Structure 1
Amino acid sequence: MSTFVLVHGAWHGAWCWHKVLPRLESAGHTVAALDLPAHGTDTTPVGEVTMDDHVERGGEVLEAQSDPAILVGHSTGGAVITQTAEAYTDEIDTLVYLTGFLLDDGEALLEYAEADEESVVTQSLVVDEEGGVATVEADALREAFYADCDDADVTLATSLLRPEPLAGLVTPMQTSDEGFGSLPRVYIGCEQDNAITPATQERMRKRLPCDDVRSIDSSHSPFLSAPEAVAEHLDGIA
């Protein structure tokens, strides 16, 4: 059995994995889902959070595991696991991008994301440079993130979202062949994604090929709408 460390995306928290985590544990795996700084129940002031803080949090969780972990990043969490892989290479077995940003050395997430003009997030993103945060317009949340989720899940999720620290979105990746580039990587795409569109997912995979590519017929949040499929893919990767 394997160890999984689950990293949520922007605005979300460890809570978003609440349907996936028990399914992986039932299959015999060890699973840790973390709150990045200023997300979920973490109380770090949002305007103070940097990408280095995200990496440090991920590293703390990785180092607490008894074996190298399969590190899973959803959406913006993809950038986090990429940078974490550079600093904690020996603590990681495999990188898994669940409709995640797969960025190359020198690329910043926000700049790359804004090139996806079909993304509902790009169309509805509100950046507060003075406050150091980014949000998504409330009336766009369902279409952007939860298009195939039921009403109860949408209500729960939208009530738990928090402003996203801007610093992590504008910090360029700093990676090397010896760090990030040395680890196996798997991409699980979402075919109905309105946040990171399928075309953008494919474009990232062409630039940085993955050892395995899988897909789920879901919106941007399969951990809510298709948790069985997410768990089955992760179990298969393990």
Structure 2
Amino acid sequence: MSTYVLIHGSWHGAWCWYKIIPLLEQAGHKAIALDLPGHGRDWTAARDVSMQSYVDSVCKILDAQPEPVILVGHSRGGIVISQTAEHRPEKIRTLVYLAAFLIPNGEAMLPTALSDTESLLVSSLVVNEEQGYHMLKAEAFREALYADCSEEDVALATALLTPEPNAPVATPLNLSDENFGRVARVYIETLRDKGVTPTLQKKMYTATPFQTIISMETSHSPFLSAPEKLVGHLTSL
């Protein structure tokens, strides 16, 4: 049995893994999804959310597990699992980047995200500096995030997405070879992705050594559109 800790991306919450958790449990594994601060049912104000608060919330989960976990990060969740690995390398068996941002030491996610000129996200962001968050225009939800998802899942996500705090994506990562660098890494690329495009995904995973690269013919959210296939990949690790 393995323990999977599932970290959602921007605007999402633990709810986005609702198809994945029962499938992992049916396969005999333990699965934990959490709402990062300011997401889902955590009502922390966006301006009060920091990268450290993200990491602290994940470390709390890891510290409660008896064995090292498989830590899965989707999209923006990539920077969260990287920084968590720097703090708790001994608690993580494998890092899994699912269409996720892999950002080098000393850099923040925001410049890399904005460099993805083919992404529909970049042209659809609305930033609220006063309240400290950014949101995606509603008309971009389907095409950017859920192009191959059912109408029911698009409706669910549309109802549950929340504004994304600005500070974490603008915070440079602090990673070392001694901590982050010693944890095994797997990348799952999504080849029909218009949110974090395949071009950017490949650029990121070729810049950093990975033990395994897995390809999925999906858009940005395979946890909704292809849950069985995604769980098959996760349980093969």
TM-score, structure 1 length as denominator? 0.98
Alignment partner, residue 87 of structure 2: 87
Superposed CA deviations along residues 102-160 of structure 1, whole A, max 9, x for unmatched, are 11101111111000000000111112222110111111111110000010100001100
- Equivalence map 1:114-153=2 (5 Å): 114-153=114-153
- How far did 1:234 drift? 0.3
Aligned to 2:59: 59
Instruction: Summarize the alignment of residues 149-228 of structure 1 with structure 2, pairs less than 5 Å apart.
Output: 149-228=149-228
Tell me how far apart the structure 2 counterparts of residues 82 and 100 of structure 1 sit (CA, whole Å): 10
Question: Which ranges of structure 1 fall in alignment gaps of 5 or more residues?
Answer: none
Mapped partners of 1:226, 1:209: distance in 2: 27
Q: Distance in 2 between matches of 1:184 and 1:90?
A: 11
CA–CA separation in structure 1 for the residues paired with 2:171 and 2:52: 9
Deviation at 1:183, TM superposition (A): 0.5
Shift of 1:61: 0.7
**SS state of the match for residue 219, structure 2?**
coil
Cα RMSD for the two superposed structures: 0.7
- Structure 1 CA distance for aligned equivalents of residues 32 and 47 of structure 2: 26
Percent identical = 52
Aligned partners of 1:123, 1:113: CA distance in 2, in Å? 11
Structure 1 match to 2:39: 39
Query: Where do 4+ consecutive residues of structure 1 move more than 4 Å?
Result: none
Residue equivalent to 1:15: 15
CA–CA separation in structure 1 for the residues paired with 2:149 and 2:142: 8
CA shift digits 1:2-41 (9 cap, x unpaired): 1110000000000000001110111111111111001011
Give the secondary-structure state (helix, strand or coil) at the position aligned to 2:52. Answer: helix
* Shift of residue 95, structure 1, vs aligned partner: 0.3
CA distance in 2, matches of 1:119, 1:101: 13
The runs of 5 or more residues in structure 2 that have no matched partner are: none
- TM-superposed CA distance for 1:209, in Å, is 2.1
Tell me how many residue pairs correspond in the alignment: 237
Query: Equivalents in 2 of 1:137, 1:206: separation in Å?
Result: 31
SS in 2 for 1:85: helix
